[in-house]
Structure 1
Amino acid sequence: MSGVFLLHCVIEDVESFKHRTMSMKQSGSGNKSRGLLPQPQASVTAAAVAAAGNATSSNQELASYFECPVCFDFALPPIMQCQSGHIVCQSCRQKLTMCPTCRGPLGNIRNLAMEKVAATVNFPCKYANNGCQTTLLHTEKPEHEETCEFRPYCCPCPGASCKWQGGLEQDIVFLATDINLPGAVDWVMMQSCFGHNFMLVLEKQEKMEGQHMFYAIVQLIGTRKQAENFAYRLELNGHRRRLTWEATPRSIHDGVQSAISASDCLVFDTNIAQLFADHGNLGINVTISMCSM
C-alpha cells in the first residue's frame, strides 16, 4: 500500500501534491497507520514541490533542492534517484555504483516530481562564481554556458601540456614561467574584452653565442580593420624600473612573425629580463583599450 501511495506522490502535479501533504499534516498519525516512513530525500522532494507552489518562495531556495551531493552542481533532468529517493547529477551518476548519501544501490528510477519542479526554476549559470549573474531554465543552460563570457579558457599554446584555466579580462598580468629554460621557447595567452579575443605572444629566440632575445606582442583574432580600433600596452615593472611598449595589435591575418622580425614589438634581452623577473618568472602587465573614433 505504501509503495502505491509513494508512486502516486511522484506523478501527481504540484498543487495536488501540496494539498495531499497538507492533508497528511492535519491527520496527525495518518502516516503511521498507512505504514509510511518518509525518507530523507523524499522529504526534500516534498519540500521542493511545496515550495514550487508557494509564490513567495525564492528561486534560489528552489534551486538549492537540486544540488548534487557529490560535485555540488545541479542535478537536472533526467533526474535519477536511488531506491530511497536520493538524487545525484547525471555526470556523477555515471561514475558511481552506490548512492553517495545512503550507500544503497543506484538503479534507473526517475524522480518525476523533481523534474516537474525543475521545469519552473531558473538556475544560475555554472560560472556564477566567475561573475556571471545569468539565471535561466535548465533547457537553456547548456547553450548559454558554451558561450558564456565568464567561462574559463584553457591554455591555447599548441602542443603544450599546460593545465592552466582562467578567466579573461580587460587588464591582466601575463605570467611567463621558467624564462631561464634553454633554447627557444614560446608563451601564449588569450585575453578577451570589448567583444573580441586577443592573443599575447612572448617569444624567446636564441641568438649567437648563447644570447637570447625576448619579443612580446598582442594579436587580435579579427581583421586588420577591426585591429585599428584598439591599442595595447605591455609593461614590465621592477624596483624603480619600468619598460613599456604601446602599439596597435596585429591582425590574425597578418600574423606576428613579420613584426617580430622587424622588432616592431616589445623587445628586450636576457639581462633586462632578469631585472624584472622573480625567481625565473616574468610578469607582463597587459592592457587593451579602445581607440577614440
Structure 2
Amino acid sequence: MEAPECPVCIQPMTVPIFQCQSGHSLCNSCTVKLSPPICPICRQTMTQMRNWQLEDLVGKAIAACPNKNKGCVYKYVSKEMEDHVKECIFREMDCPMGKVFGTCSWSGKLKELLNHFKDRHPGNCANITSNITSNFTIDNISVTNDCRHFYILQFNKQIFFLSFKIDTVQKLGYWLVQYVGTKKAARQNVYEIQINSKQHQKRTVTYIDYCFSDSMDANEVFRQAQCAVMPLIMMGHFIDNSKITFRCLIKLFNKPAINNNDQSKHATTGQKNGPPFPNRHKSPGPHVSRAKGSGVNNTQSVGPKHGPKKQQANFNKK
C-alpha cells in the first residue's frame, strides 16, 4: 500500500510521528520545523506522544522518493527510504569542498555540480577515459603534517570523488574514490591508484578496488582503512622535494557469466555472492616485490591488513 501523507506538507509520512493534544499527527519533517511547537491544524500544543500504530503502518508502506517531482522514479518501503535519499542522484547536494574544507556554500543538483567545479574550483577537476589515466602531483607534502586534498572526476558521463589524506596520528596515508550514486552502481566501477616514486622512477605501488558510494562518509572509510592505505614511513620514499605523484584510472567492471560448473566451484570455495574481484591477491595489504637476485623473498607483506584489496609494488634496482 502507499504510505499515508502528512496533512501539512502532503508528502509521505516519515517517522518518528508525534501527536498534538487533539490527536493530530504530523510527519517528522514538519514537526521539527515547528517553532513554537504548536499544531498547525488545531493550534494545540504538540506532545512527545508517538503514534505507534501509524508508524508501524508507514514502515510497511511503499513510498515514492521525495525527489519524485525532480525526476526520481524509485519506490521503496518507507523504512528503506532514508538510505535511498542519501544516495538519490536527484537530491540536493552541497559542494564537497564546503563539506570537507568549509570553503564553499554552494548547493544544487548533481547535473550542476561539475559545472560548478569548473567555474569555482577548476584546479580540483579531472577527466578520465578508459584508455587514459589522470596524473596528480600534490605539492607541499610532508609525512609529518596532516593534509587533505579533494578532486572531482568525470568518467563515462558519471561523477566520482577522489580524496587523498595524510593522518599523522594514525601514521597512514589514504586514497579513496567514491561514485556519486547508489551503492549498487558504485560496485560496477573499479578504480586503480598507482603511486610513483619521485626518488626512484621504477618504484611504484598499485592499488585496485571497487568504488564506494558518496553516501558513505569518507572519514568513516578512512577510519576503517577500507581504501588504499600506505604507512607514512613507506610514503616517505615516494615524496621528493615535498611532492607526491600518483595516477588514477577508473574502469567499468562487468560481471562475467557463471555456468553451473562455475557455480559449484564458488560453492566449494565458499565465495560470497557478488561480482568477483579481478586478480585479487590472496593476502590483502601492500605487497613488495623485488628484482631477482636481490637476496630477499619475492613477496613480502607490509602495512595494515584491511579488507579484500590488492596492492603491489615493484622495485628494480639499478
TM-score > 0.5, shorter chain as reference? no
Give the TM interval when normalised to the shorter protein: 0.3 to 0.5
Find the structure with the greater CA-based Rg: 1
Q: Which has the higher helix share?
A: 1
Question: Normalising by the residue count of structure 1, what TM-score does the alignment of the two structures yield?
Answer: 0.42
